[in-house]
């Protein structure tokens, strides 16, 4: 829709949102973070929009893992790419 020469943007109601970045010295995890997020999501305390774990091994190789609770339609509306 055109309004006075400007394109109207679709209103997306998500929020408030928070961005959290955490760094760890010791990567000796055994599922505790995943379990804590899972419990909070099941209780409806949080909704996971985008989560990315990035890690580097002793040889300097970088790898990543991501997760979301958005369905494919929501990911498209946000302009997010497909999950890898």
What are the residue ranges spanned by the domains of the chain? 12-78
CA angle 71, 76, 77 (to 5 degrees): 100
Q: Could you read off the pLDDT of 21-79 as tens digits, one per residue?
A: 888 877 777 788 888 888 998 998 888 888 888 888 889 999 988 888 888 888 887 76
CB 61 within 8 A of CB 74: no
Distance CA(32)–CA(27), nearest Å, equals 12
Q: Please give the model's pTM, rounded to 2 decimal places.
A: 0.54
CB distance 74 to 9 below 8 Å: no
Q: Comparing C-alpha atoms, which of 45, 44, 38 is closest to residue 67?
A: 38
């Amino acid at each position: 829709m055109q309004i006075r020469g400007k394109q109207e943007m679709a209103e997306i109601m998500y929020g408030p949102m928070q961005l959290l970045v955490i760094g760890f010295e010791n990567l000796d995890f055994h599922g505790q973070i995943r379990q804590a997020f899972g419990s909070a999501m099941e209780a409806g305390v949080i909704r996971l929009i985008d989560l990315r774990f990035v890690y580097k091994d002793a040889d300097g190789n970088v790898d990543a893992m991501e997760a979301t609770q958005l369905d494919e339609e929501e990911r498209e509306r946000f302009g997010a790419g497909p999950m890898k």
